[in-house]
């Protein structure tokens, strides 16, 4: 079966369409610090509004543990959505309660409303399928049709992602369709040379991706906290740097497999080592095999790839036709350790081909460092969902929409 798209739902004029978006934006003191996910939701909502649908947006935000928590209210996201749409967006202070019923019943053709955080209801994420089904049935009371457009949650079997889509005519929104088109190119039809850049803190988070993509790529570049497990696998000491000792043998296996396949695994030749974790920490650049030979000795903490490595990574990235990047190269939130991530991001903007930023921390990093979404071929909203897709896993939120 092929993915069901909005066109499969027929005319939506005058119909109530529940749209499962991903408005899980970062907040600081109630203010959105990165509105990328809200902006990504706009095209689908706009397309439905232009059809004359009565749009009911649902989403989660954070992990409020199944009870209402003001810190995780979707009100700021609803306000920002209204600004981006250039129209008033109604907001319900509950999800399936009296206020939600009032707000939805007041909608007229082309109106948009946002319901409060789905995860204020424990049934949304319940392990008990019957509890999820009951909550989905309540949500379905507001819907003549359902459009699933929160790609960041399609790897979860949750009420609004899986069960709800079974209760009403359902289809994928424009965002999910676009994400799948890009991810399909990364796994099935990449233009070569094809480079994958992986960073972030833990190699264990990326093992599935490495295993699935190794036979498909030409180069694999390793940075971030996970690089130290690779260095340890080569026999190097890494001081107090992040290390997953239980993954060393697995990493050695991947290094051997890459050699057998002729894949170039590019590891850092230099790193930025700090005395401690902090923006004011004393730090030096040292060779990747000499981390404990700095003035900090075995207490030294690697917090970024070094300039030589960053330049080498940039060279490989610019020379590739397809590049997928997931995970910062260092602790980019701290200015002294942001250079590696900045260099990699800049190189991706210069790719003559498809450059994909793989969501999550990587997307936050490029925006925090001053880059715009338009400078890249695609910025995924997926995070964990993108990684699981690239691992070759079946994702329940896609299967229920016909993607097999």
What letter would DSSP give residue 162? I
pLDDT of 191 reads 96
Is 37 one of the annotated binding-site residues? yes
CATH domain 190-391 topology:
Rossmann fold (3.40.50)
Is 20 one of the annotated binding-site residues? no
pLDDT, tens digit (0-9, with 9 covering 90-100), for 179-228: 999 998 998 889 999 999 999 888 888 888 999 999 999 999 999 999 99
Q: Which of 82, 319, 384, 402 is catalytic?
A: 384
Is 383 one of the annotated binding-site residues? no
For the chain, the structural domain boundaries read: 6-178, 190-391
pLDDT of 1 reads 56
Q: Which of 223, 340, 358, 360 is catalytic?
A: 360
Tell me if residue 384 is catalytic: yes
Nearest to 13 by CA among 42, 58, 50, 44: 50
pLDDT higher at 71 or 384: 71
Is residue 359's pLDDT more than 80? no
Is 359 one of the annotated binding-site residues? yes
Burial class (CB in 10 A: 0-12, 13-18, 19+), 284: middle
Mean of the per-residue pLDDT values of the chain = 95
pLDDT, tens digit (0-9, with 9 covering 90-100), for 241-292: 999 999 999 999 999 999 999 999 999 999 999 999 999 999 999 999 999 9
Nearest to 23 by CA among 37, 33, 36, 34: 37
Nearest to 79 by CA among 30, 20, 143: 30
Is the fold of 6-178 the same as that of 190-391?
yes
Token digits of residue 180: 């799948």
Alpha-carbon distance 105 to 286, whole Å?
Answer: 64
| pTM of this structure | 0.89
| CATH class (in words) of the domain with range 6-178 | alpha beta
Q: Which of 87, 185, 202, 321 is catalytic?
A: 202
pLDDT of 210 reads 92
Tell me if residue 202 is catalytic: yes
């Amino acid at each position: 079966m092929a993915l069901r798209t909005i066109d499969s739902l027929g005319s939506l004029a005058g119909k109530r369409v529940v749209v499962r978006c991903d408005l899980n934006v970062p907040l600081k003191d109630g203010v959105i610090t990165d509105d990328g996910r809200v902006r990504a939701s706009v095209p689908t909502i706009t397309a439905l509004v232009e059809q004359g649908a009565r749009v009911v947006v649902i989403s989660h935000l954070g992990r409020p543990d199944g009870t209402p928590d003001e810190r995780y209210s979707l009100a700021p996201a609803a306000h920002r959505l209204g600004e981006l749409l250039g129209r008033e967006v109604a907001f319900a202070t509950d999800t399936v309660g009296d206020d939600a019923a009032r707000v939805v019943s007041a909608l007229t053709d082309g109106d948009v409303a946002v319901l409060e955080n789905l995860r204020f209801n424990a049934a949304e994420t319940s392990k008990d399928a019957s509890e999820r089904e009951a909550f989905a049935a309540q949500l379905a009371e507001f819907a003549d049709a359902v459009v699933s457009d929160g790609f960041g949650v399609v790897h979860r079997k949750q009420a609004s992602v899986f069960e709800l889509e079974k209760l009403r005519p359902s289809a994928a929104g424009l965002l999910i369709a676009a994400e799948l088109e890009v991810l399909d190119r990364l796994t099935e039809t990449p233009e070569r040379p094809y480079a994958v850049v992986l960073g972030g803190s833990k190699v264990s988070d990326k093992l599935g991706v490495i295993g699935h993509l190794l036979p498909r790529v030409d180069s694999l570049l390793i940075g971030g906290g996970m690089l130290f497990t690779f260095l340890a696998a080569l026999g190097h000491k890494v001081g107090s740097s992040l290390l997953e000792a239980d993954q060393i043998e697995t990493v050695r296996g991947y290094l051997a497999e890459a050699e057998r396949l002729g894949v170039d695994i590019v590891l850092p030749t230099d790193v930025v080592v700090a005395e401690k974790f902090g923006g004011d920490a004393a730090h030096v650049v040292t060779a990747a095999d000499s981390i404990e030979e700095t003035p900090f000795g075995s207490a030294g903490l690697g917090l970024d790839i070094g300039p030589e490595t960053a330049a080498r990574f940039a060279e490989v990235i610019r020379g590739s036709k397809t590049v997928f990047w997931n995970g910062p190269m260092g602790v980019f939130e701290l200015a002294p350790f942001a250079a590696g991530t900045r260099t990699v991001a800049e190189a991706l903007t210069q790719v003559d081909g498809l450059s994909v930023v793989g969501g999550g921390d990587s997307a936050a990093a490029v925006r925090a460092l001053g880059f715009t979404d338009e400078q890249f071929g695609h910025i995924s909203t997926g995070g964990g969902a993108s990684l699981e897709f690239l691992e070759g896993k079946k994702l329940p939120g896609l299967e229920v929409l016909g993607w097999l």
